[in-house]
Amino acid sequence: MSLFAAVEATPNDPIFGLTDKFNRDTDPHKVNLGVGMYQDDDGRVPLLESVRIAEERLARAAKPATYPPMDGLPDYNADAQRVVFGADSEAVASGRVVTGQSLGGTGGLTLAADVYGSVSPNHKALVSTPTWANHIAIMRHAGYDVGKYAYYDGRTGVDIDGLLSDLSGAEPGTMVIMHECCHNPTGYDLTRSQWDAVTEAVRQRGLMLLIDMAYQGFSQGLDEDAETIRRLAAAGLTFMVSSSFSKNFSLYGERVGAVHFVCADADEAARVRTRVKTAAREDYSTPPLHGAQVVRTVLQDEQLRDTWTDEVSTMRERIKKMRTGLVDGLRAAGVTDMDFINDQAGMFSYSGLDKAQMEELRAVHHVYGTDAGRICVAALNSRNIDHVVAAIAAVRG
Ligand code: PMP
């Protein structure tokens, strides 16, 4: 008898299950709006020009792949810090920000959970309702008891009163995971004054913020999207950030991200750094080299960095164009109550369609989004948008 005999299969991940169904669909008009990758107007995940040039340079100067430090390549970490905190950050200059290279944003969340886990008084974490499902899974896996705070108001915005009330009822020391921008799955972000109120609640209750920034540059701009993190750092809050280059470098499979701990002072930061190294060593020893070398090559060359910044703008503007295109198309088709899509940001949109309507979209129109009504705006393009508009208008009756 096999000792694996008792292994039970994990239930199908709803998003991957959706892709399976999409792949089996033979209709030529099918559209997959369930994906989590940005696509260009040809429906392809782009290879950025900045990345292509960096890859060529790296190939010409090929070197053996020795082990990097456990917390990653130091100059990659410094570059990641600059992208997240800005070039003139007092917190970085004073040595109180610890940055470690991570396996994408997912790995950044894991390292943050591990490091804070060594001092968390209650091993409790709070996530938004709803959130990216892996927030819950990662925190449970790291030993946290996961609860939820109110976020989506069920209509067209954020339930700020519910959110603040949940934060002020949280136990001191609880970790609170918040999306910096481009909230996944709803597309609704906090305004600056709402962030101020959240910061006040976090300070008053003594909570530990973990800010997840997976989509920097996809809402307003690379600097604009990191505004909250920069303001919190300048205000002297101690908190954690997980940042990712998966989306804004279109380097999904290379696993390039970073975790940042904004500490009280350089001495605290030095101790935290030892914890980051230990957490990495016990999990995977050292991070992969290649993606970090690509990102570092781009960020250290002024011209390549400008090319990259332009490419991020192009991706952001295309998403916005698809958003307005969807809203305008729906209006023209007689659906006049979905303008709220223009208030959302990033790759995703909560469409407000219910499960039955999402099922009808798939079954009748071959348009695939999640049962909760999430659609990936970044998968719309000039060839499929009319079909999607007509399909949504039809299910809306
Ligand atoms: N956080 C959020 C909110 C995400 O949507 C994602 C990716 N879907 C991640 C983190 C993880 O990104 P990465 O691929 O860099 O691990």
Task: Give the contacts of 107 (CB within 8 A, at least 6 positions apart).
Answer: 255, 257, 259, 287
Can you give the pLDDT at residue 13? 75
Q: How many residues can be counted in the chain? A: 397
pLDDT digits (tens, 9 = 90+) for 60-99: 999 999 999 999 999 999 999 999 999 999 999 999 999 9
The neighbour count for residue 48, using CB atoms within 10 Å, is 23
The pLDDT confidence band at residue 336, using thresholds 50, 70 and 90, is very high
* High-pLDDT (> 90) share of the chain, %: 96
Q: Is the CB of 102 under 6 A from ligand 1?
A: no
Task: List 376's β-bridge partners, or say none.
Answer: 348
Q: State both tokens at 3.
A: 């000792």
Domain boundaries, the chain: 12-45+313-395, 66-299
pLDDT digits (tens, 9 = 90+) for 8-52: 998 877 777 888 999 999 999 999 999 899 999 999 999 999 999
Substitution candidate for ligand 1 out of 37, 132, 151 with most atoms within 8 A of CB: 132
Task: Give the contacts of 11 (CB within 8 A, at least 6 positions apart).
Answer: none
Q: How far is the CA of 107 from the centre of ligand 1 (A)?
A: 9
Q: How far is the CA of 102 from the centre of ligand 1 (A)?
A: 12
Average pLDDT over residues 169-189: 98
Active site residues: 132, 212, 247
Strands (E), 83-165: 97-102, 124-129, 145-150
* High-pLDDT (> 70) share of the chain, %: 100
The neighbour count for residue 271, using CB atoms within 10 Å, is 10
Radius of gyration of the chain (CA): 21
Instruction: Return the percent helix, strand and coil in the chain, to nearest 5.
Output: 50, 15, 40
Torsion of CA 130, 131, 135, 137, to 10 degrees: 50
Average pLDDT over residues 287-311: 98
Rounded (5°) CA angle 291-112-67: 40
Can you give the pLDDT at residue 35? 87
Q: How far is the CA of 170 from the centre of ligand 1 (A)?
A: 25
Query: Over the chain, what is the mean pLDDT?
Result: 97
* Residue 148, φ and ψ in degrees, nearest 5: -125, 150
Q: Is the CB of 244 under 6 A from ligand 1?
A: yes
Q: How far is the CA of 214 from the centre of ligand 1 (A)?
A: 5
Average pLDDT over residues 243-260: 98
The pLDDT confidence band at residue 239, using thresholds 50, 70 and 90, is very high
Q: Is the CB of 106 under 6 A from ligand 1?
A: yes
ipTM attached to this prediction: 0.99
Task: List 210's β-bridge partners, or say none.
Answer: 177, 240
Can you give the pLDDT at residue 323? 97
Buried b vs exposed e over 234-245: b needs ≥16 C-beta within 10 Å? eeebbbbbbbbb
Whether the predicted pLDDT of 397 surpasses 90: no
Q: Is the CB of 250 under 6 A from ligand 1?
A: no
Contact 255, 381 (CB under 8 A): no
The neighbour count for residue 230, using CB atoms within 10 Å, is 17
The pLDDT confidence band at residue 362, using thresholds 50, 70 and 90, is very high
CATH of domain 66-299: 3.40.640.10
Contact 143, 160 (CB under 8 A): no
Can you give the pLDDT at residue 242? 98
In 3D space, the residue among 351, 92, 322 whose CA is nearest the CA of residue 218 turns out to be: 322
CATH T-level assignment (fold) for domain 12-45+313-395 = Aspartate Aminotransferase, domain 1 (3.90.1150)
